[in-house]
Structure 1
Amino acid sequence: MELLFLVLLVAALLVWGSSLQRQVSKLKDRLRPISSIELYAKTARRIADSDLEKARDEATQILSAAKQESSELEQRIASLRADAKSAKQELVRVNEGLRLIADDAHLLEVGYYRPVYGFEDLPKYQEAIEKIKEAQKSMLRVAGEARDKAAAAYATRPINYNGSEAQGRKLLKKVLQLMLRAFNGECDAFIARVNYRNIITMQKRIQSSFDQINKIADAWDCQISRKYLANRLEELGLVYEYAKFQEKVKEEQAWIREQEREEEKARKEAEKRERDAAKKADSVEQAVREARQAMEAAAESDKAAFRKQIEALERELANALEDKKRAKSLAEQTRTGYVYIFSNIGSFGEHVFKIGMTRREDPEVRRRELGDASVPFPFDCHAYIWTEDAPTLERELHKHFEPRRLNLENERKEFFRITIDEIQAEVEKLKSQLGIAAEIRWTMLAEAKDFRLSEAKRKYLQFGNDRS
């Protein structure tokens, strides 16, 4: 039994020893490369260098790819920004176009146009318009397809069509013709419709038409020149000023005709005054002759009474002859008359006065004429100033109060926003300068009877309705 145990133990030890020997052999094989520290260090360094080189190559590839992607992103961002800018510009043009072609209610907003030319007569305006038309014709005659920038519209580069540069020029010529036909058609329509209410709008419409047509033709590298745009805008302003000057001429002619009618009435009144004075003088002179004849035929006791009668008639005759002489003198004078100061609170409000002139013998006729059906209330008179040079006094007052004029476009409208005290002070200053000897009676407060009664009645009716 013990022998068997020993045999088994020996066998087990042999097996374990054999296994241990194999393990030791494998361990030696694995540890053989590092058996030498120097050999191990070299091997590790070689492996590390190889790994580092691979890492560098990978890092270089990653960095190159990142740079490429960054460049592509930058290009894409730049492209998107350019698209956004172009879209914004297009949106502005579209909105402007929609605003201009939509409801014309915006024309109610009147823009101020500052005159550029200010010619003194119509022929000069006509000459300027002709010059503009000649400049247009000159630009239209230039071949824009040859890229000549002096043309009304021109191409910025040549193109080939069907492989032919000649056919490309023909195509460009047709494109340019279509552009100019569209632009000129719209400009002509805008210019034909221009007036004081839409002058600023029409300028914007021409500019919008220019931008839209150039945007459409941009694909062909064609554009209308800015010089031609400036020419059409200049034509618009000139035509507007010409039409406005025509209106001014008509207004001045109407004013002249009114003045002529006024002078004719004044002349007839003066002639009637002269005839009446002469008739009265003749009548008194006849009475004097008859009284003298009667005195010669009368008894001596009655002659004293006739002498007194004749003396009274001779004094009356002297006055009549003086009136006749004065009436004749006034009829011959063309500058004598009244400068009047009127107000109309009900029609124009407080502190608005009309400063005008009349040559009528009775200036009240002029006040009644002004208070006709064209205004709701009659005018009140604050002063009638008689002078031998009424036009000069009127002109000086207008000149002094020019900045206070209500209508700055029509100088024939003689209304000013001032106070009666200011007018009186200026008249007193001008009296010595212009030699006005007549006394002036001032009415400082306007009666405005109809207006005040109307206001009182309106309040009464309003309160009466409220109480009911």
Structure 2
Amino acid sequence: MAEQTEDDGAGTPADPFAVRIAQLEAENAALRSRLAAGDAGESVVTDDAAVLQSVGIYRYHHPLESAAAYKERLSVLEARISALVVEGRAIEKSNLFTFNNSLAQGRRMTDDLSKLMLRAYNAEAENSLRTLRAGNVETAKSRLERSRTAIAKLGKLMEMRISDAFHELRVEEVELTADWLMKKQEEREAQREERARLREEAKVAKELADQRAQLDKERAHVLNALALLEGNGGADPELLVRLAEIDEAIKENDFRAANIRAGYVYVISNEGAFGKNVVKIGLTRRLEPRERIAELSGASVPFRFDIHALHYSDDAVSLETELHKHFADRALNRANPRKEFFFATPAEVREVLLRKVGNLLEYFEDADALEFRQSVGLWPQPHAFAQRLTTEGEQNLPAQPS
């Protein structure tokens, strides 16, 4: 292939090899600019939220047991990627391209241009990894594919392209990195929930221990009083009844301390935070379940929760699990099954509870939502925002499964 010698503007013939390199660099820069603007070939959706919503629940590309396992796999993969670069197998090119009728100059040009192209491709890959999140995996892979396609177009004359093996490794790197980020997030969430569970169990254990100490103290007082009465030849039937009540309470306390499955299943709502027809179905082992619900009504939500049902069960764990399974297709959070919010009315949960436990000692159909109702009239644009909040629960409520 022959090239015409150009003048560098100072009367001195320019180096044709340098001129051609400059032209190709300019073409590459222009193409990368078009890619960034979404003006070359097939467009790529860059709205990560839209991509994640269209894809749905995250599915692992390479399922492994832990984040540490992903890091180990990534280290091995990075070594394989580096090896392909060192071996010259990351990018393919023709060795028969000539420049100024010189095969040596042609090879020099293809070598330099291949380094430039590989640098551009790797820059795209590294940028994808830096900005990677669970929601933009497909976007990152699409950008990587487009970068490879653009390089193939630019290097068509020299039969230059990113090799299949190298591209597959970099795509796998994107997938593994996304999997690692998701696994790390899941492990952090699991650790946070485990810490919360241990704190809750510690509170329950302290409550039971304090109650047992109080019962033992009261029982000792009753026994002393009875002993004094008996010593004086008297008796007090009311003290005997109280002693029996204390013994029953101690028995119940010991049972709850030994049986970690016993507790209260609760059904609560927060209309101001989640709208109508959304309930939380949970479990607490507290002696006073309202204390736990009061904690849930803390600073993380704008209004207090309303209680619709409280039911004590010797196997509250199984009862809660059965309710969660029944309303699983109505869960608000489909990505994390440990969340306990569902599109359902209190009456619907009550019907299921009645079928499973027979009767409920405490049930309230309507939510007071006192703070919400006192506040909503003072919100900005109340007729738009408040109306949406109070009706979206009905609009989003799934049909009752047959």
Place the TM-score, normalised by the shorter chain, in its bin.
0.7 to 0.9
In 2 relative to 1, CA 317–361 (structure 1 residues): closer, same or farther, beyond 3 Å? same
Post-superposition Cα deviations, 1:145-174, rounded to whole Å, max 9, x if no partner, equal xxxxxx221114523457664564454333
1:136 to 71, 81, 93: 81
- Matches for 1:263-302 after TM superposition, within 5 Å: 263-295=201-233
Q: Is the 8 A contact 1:153 1:223 kept in 2?
A: yes
For residue 251 of structure 2, what is the aligned residue in structure 1? 325
List runs of 5+ in structure 1 lacking aligned partners.
1-90, 144-150, 296-305, 432-436, 463-468
Match status 1:123 vs 2:75: no
List runs of 5+ in structure 2 lacking aligned partners.
1-29, 384-402
- Structure with higher Rg: it is 1
Aligned length: 345
In 2 relative to 1, CA 186–95 (structure 1 residues): closer, same or farther, beyond 3 Å? closer
Structure 1 residue 205: Cα displacement = 2.4
Distance 2:322 2:75 in 1: 40
Match status 1:405 vs 2:331: yes
2:267 to 313, 336, 341: 341
1:453 to 352, 374, 382: 374
1:228 to 163, 166, 176: 166
In 2 relative to 1, CA 360–347 (structure 1 residues): closer, same or farther, beyond 3 Å? same
Post-superposition Cα deviations, 1:201-235, rounded to whole Å, max 9, x if no partner, equal 32232223222333333343311123422321221
Structure 1 residue 457: Cα displacement = 6.5
For residue 278 of structure 2, what is the aligned residue in structure 1? 352
Post-superposition Cα deviations, 1:420-460, rounded to whole Å, max 9, x if no partner, equal 232122223333xxxxx77442212212222233346779x
Q: Is the 8 A contact 1:352 1:417 kept in 2?
A: yes
Aligned amino acid, residue 372 of structure 2: F
Structure 1 residue 131: Cα displacement = 4.2
Distance 1:455 1:159 in 2: 74
Distance 1:458 1:180 in 2: 56
Larger relative contact order (CA 8 Å, sep ≥ 6): 2
For residue 365 of structure 2, what is the aligned residue in structure 1? 444
Distance 1:94 1:175 in 2: 18
Post-superposition Cα deviations, 1:258-282, rounded to whole Å, max 9, x if no partner, equal 1111111011001111111111111
Structure 1 residue 254: Cα displacement = 0.5
For residue 27 of structure 2, what is the aligned residue in structure 1? none
Q: How much identity, in percent, do the aligned residues show?
A: 30
In 2 relative to 1, CA 457–142 (structure 1 residues): closer, same or farther, beyond 3 Å? closer
TM-score w.r.t. length of structure 2: 0.77
- Root-mean-square deviation (Å): 3.0
1:242 to 173, 176, 180: 180
2:36 to 93, 97, 101: 97
In 2 relative to 1, CA 139–107 (structure 1 residues): closer, same or farther, beyond 3 Å? same
In 2 relative to 1, CA 242–378 (structure 1 residues): closer, same or farther, beyond 3 Å? same
1:185 to 123, 135, 151: 123
Aligned amino acid, residue 288 of structure 1: L
Distance 2:302 2:174 in 1: 40
For residue 400 of structure 2, what is the aligned residue in structure 1? none
Aligned amino acid, residue 448 of structure 1: A
Distance 2:376 2:127 in 1: 50
In 2 relative to 1, CA 194–424 (structure 1 residues): closer, same or farther, beyond 3 Å? same
In 2 relative to 1, CA 281–380 (structure 1 residues): closer, same or farther, beyond 3 Å? same
For residue 317 of structure 2, what is the aligned residue in structure 1? 391
In 2 relative to 1, CA 128–430 (structure 1 residues): closer, same or farther, beyond 3 Å? farther
1:217 to 139, 155, 164: 155
Match status 1:172 vs 2:110: yes
In 2 relative to 1, CA 100–274 (structure 1 residues): closer, same or farther, beyond 3 Å? farther
TM-score w.r.t. length of structure 1: 0.66
Distance 1:106 1:204 in 2: 10
Higher helix share: 1
- Matches for 1:46-85 after TM superposition, within 5 Å: none
Aligned amino acid, residue 317 of structure 1: L
Post-superposition Cα deviations, 1:10-63, rounded to whole Å, max 9, x if no partner, equal xxxxxxxxxxxxxxxxxxxxxxxxxxxxxxxxxxxxxxxxxxxxxxxxxxxxxx
Distance 1:320 1:181 in 2: 79
Distance 1:347 1:183 in 2: 46
